[in-house]
Amino acid sequence: MRHHKILFSGPVGAGKTTAIASISDHAPVLTEAKARDSTRLIKERTTVAMDYGVMELEGGEKVHLYGTPGQPRFDFMWDILAEGGLGIVLLIDNSAADAMHRLDRFLRVFDEVIERTSLVVGVTKMDVSATLTLADYVDRLDAAGVRAPVLEVDARERRDVALLVEALLYSIDPGLDVDDVA
Amino acid sequence: MTTIQVESTAVAEEPLQADNKTMVRASVKVALVGLEARSRRILTRLIASAEAPDCEIVDHESADVIVVDRDGELAERELLALYQHSSVPVIVLSEAPVQGENITWIIKPVQANILLQSIWKLAQQRRRQTLQQRRETILAGSRRVRREVKYQLQHRPTAQTASIAAKAGKLDDSGVLYCGSVDESRYLLPRLPDDLFYDPQVHLQSVIQAVINEAQRRERVVAIRGLGRDIVIFDQGKLLATDLSDYQLRRIAASPVDRKVLAFLLLRESSIDIAALRQRAQRTDAVLWKVALWSSQGRLPAGADLDKPISIMAWPNLTRLALFPHAVQLAALWHRQAISMRATAALLNISYRYIFSFYAACLQLGLIRQHARPIVFQPPKSQQTDQGLLGKVLGYLRGKVERR
Ligand SMILES: Nc1nc2c(ncn2[C@@H]2O[C@H](COP(=O)(O)OP(=O)(O)OP(=O)(O)O)[C@@H](O)[C@H]2O)c(=O)[nH]1
Ligand SMILES: [Mg+2]
């Protein structure tokens, strides 16, 4: 039986752990710890290894959901995790003062991964702050030559996360239903 | 004995699978012919209460399946007419066997589950044929679309063709609400009939858009008066509040608005309770989107060209907008490549009604771009995937999500 995976990534506090919990079949395995260093200023608990959840499909196949830790010191894991995956769900916290910076950083550091893998961008916490709009993110992606769906999501809402993943799937293949024409 | 007795109302033991791809409309249309009053009542009740298939009773001209009582008074004559002129499958209820092309015989007394299953099976068969015909009709229509489809296929993302959308799961009524119920065959006429176009300029969507622009430009609160209840647009045109219900808005959007009865009021922020408005506000982009859909109803904005390649510059924010069948799929396709609506219909093999509605709503949000020729912006990624898997994941997500 083949195994598949989808990678959830994004900076600290973007909602990766929450998003995986929203669509996983089981309570996800979390590797959170009390935040140390500067992360503590942002939040109480942070992911230190990776999050894990699973979607159990009909017929027994599974899609594993991995969440990368948000802190830059874990960047090295992303490459490994993204390898062979269906795609990447990038979450960005819109309420962070440097949200756009964080997107830039992601695009720069992971350009090779993005080149190989389909990407969707979920902008979280628009309810907390809406200073930046989706169009701002789209512009930035355009400038970096990345064409990806950008949707507003609340990581706590299963419906939002499911639609974001659906957008990823259709981006991989819009579902053409024709072989050839005469 | 002409009365129909229905034995046992237990419907099919195994759940009937709804295949989204073959479902053009949400319910199966059934015509009852030649039944005397009592039988008709019984069958109407049975069919109307069936959950799977979800049926409605219609006259025989718009039916997917026709049910005839052979032993009824009218039957002989009507049957003859149907045999000769109809491509619609016919179910004949009769004590004695009946044979014929296009005919399914069900013995009396009629068993409810057998009847319902037959209706479902025949309706599905018919829809499959319709789908096949649709693609063939579109492709046969012009050499240009065949050329374009060939080009688009050279850039297809995955090699396998089993459809993703076949797994897409439950249908809801959003298709009819937002994409209308125009008869499918009208979309396939050699020239698209005029009544499949509408003019957004004379509909509510343009009125709201104009006021949004005004509210932005003047940085003021603007109200539209004359529609029964006020529509107030504020917060630099980003928010809208109104006591008009969705139902009322839909009614207004359905036909052209008479601008002469409308008044536009510039309001002073100090004179209104913004906090209270904010409490019940909707976002204007979400309102424009749904109002455009309610006006479009599966029709195309005037001036749109079926053969011109188009794309969307960004995805509509579908997590916060009204969803309808194939919206996500269309967003993905049109964001990936510039493609004509005709080629879209042929490649995805979906009804034009969804394509036109999606186009109309995206156009209202300013997302549509025109192109001189088809282009694929997004080269296929090297990742290994197969559509069977994508379909299953989609089934997982949809099965667990209440679609709005
Ligand atoms: N208000 C609001 N809160 C959200 C939204 N999305 C996620 N959250 C909350 O944001 C907090 C942080 O989410 P996490 O899932 O822990 O973030 P993370 O990306 O896993 O963070 P790290 O593991 O530290 O990198 C949680 O309390 C979530 O409930 C949103 O759209 N709006
Ligand atoms: Mg986490």
Residue A178 lies in a domain: no
Residue A79 lies in a domain: yes
B313 and B280 belong to one structural domain: no
Angstrom distance (rounded) from CA A171 to CA A147:
10
Both B16 and B111 in one domain: the answer is yes
Read off the tokens for A46: 């942070």
Question: Does residue B85 contact residue B157 with C-beta atoms inside 8 Å?
Answer: no
Ligand in nearest proximity to the CA of A16 = 1
Q: Is the pLDDT of residue B69 over 80?
A: yes
Which of B276, B292, B308 terminates a domain? The answer is B292
- Residue ranges lining ligand 1, Cβ < 6 Å: A 10, 12-18, 43, 46-47, 69-70, 124-125, 127-128, 154-156
A145 within domain boundaries:
yes
Establish, for the pair of chains A and B, how many residue pairs have beta carbons separated by less than 8 Å.
161
Domain boundary among B292, B322, B355: B292
Q: Does position B170 have pLDDT exceeding 60, yes or no?
A: no
pLDDT tens digits for A113-156? 888 888 999 999 999 988 899 999 999 999 999 999 999 999 99
Segments forming the whole domain that contains residue B342: 143-182+297-403
In a domain, A10, yes or no: yes
Residue the block writes with tokens 């913004």: B274
Axis-axis angle for helices B327-336, B341-348 (nearest 10): 120
Question: Is B193 inside a domain boundary?
Answer: no
CB B18 within 8 A of CB B123: no
Chain position carrying tokens 């819009």: A174
B347: nearest CB among A85, A86, A176: A176
Residue B102 sits in a domain of what CATH number? 3.40.50.2300
Residues B214 and B248 in one domain: yes
Last residue of a domain, one of B130, B158, B192: B130
In this model, does residue B347 exceed pLDDT 60? Answer: yes
DSSP, res B404: -
Question: B364 versus B120: which is more confidently predicted?
Answer: B364
User: Which ranges constitute the DSSP H helices of B280-386?
Assistant: 284-296, 327-336, 341-348, 352-364
What CATH code is carried by the domain that includes residue A86? 3.40.50.300
Same domain, B215 and B158: no
Q: A173 vs B384: CB contact, 8 Å cut-off?
A: no
- The whole domain housing A157 covers 3-172
Q: Are residues B113 and B30 in the same domain?
A: yes
pLDDT of B316 over the 80 cut: yes
> Within 10 A of A148 (CB to CB), how many other CB atoms are there?
24
Structure-model confidence comparison of residues B160 and A168, the more confident one = A168
B153 vs A135: CB contact, 8 Å cut-off?
A: no
Instruction: Give A167 Cα–ligand 2 centroid separation in angstroms.
Output: 22
Of the candidates B330, B344, B337, B332, the residue with the CA atom closest to the CA atom of residue B371: B337
Same domain, B153 and B231: no
Task: Look at residue B9 in the predicted model and tell me its pLDDT.
Answer: 38
Question: Between chains, do B383 and A177 touch, taking CB under 8 Å as contact?
Answer: no
Q: CB of A175 within 8 Å of any CB in chain B?
A: yes
How many residues make up chain A in this entry? Answer: 182
Best residue for ligand 1 mutational test, from A20, A31, A156, A160 (most atoms within 8 Å of Cβ): A156
DSSP string, B373-403: S-EE-SPPPS----HHHHHHHHHHHHHTS--
One domain, residues B23 and B44: yes
> B1 in a domain, yes or no?
no
In this structure, the answer to whether residues B304 and B393 fall within a common structural domain is: yes
Protein residue closest via CA to atom 14 of ligand 1: A15
| Three-class secondary structure of residue B226 per DSSP | coil
> What's the whole-model pTM score?
0.79
Domains identified in chain B, total number: 3
Asked if B396 lies within 8 A of A150 by C-beta distance, the reply is: no
Tokens 């309706």 -> residue: B123
- Number of folded domains that form chain A: 1
pLDDT score for B183: 79
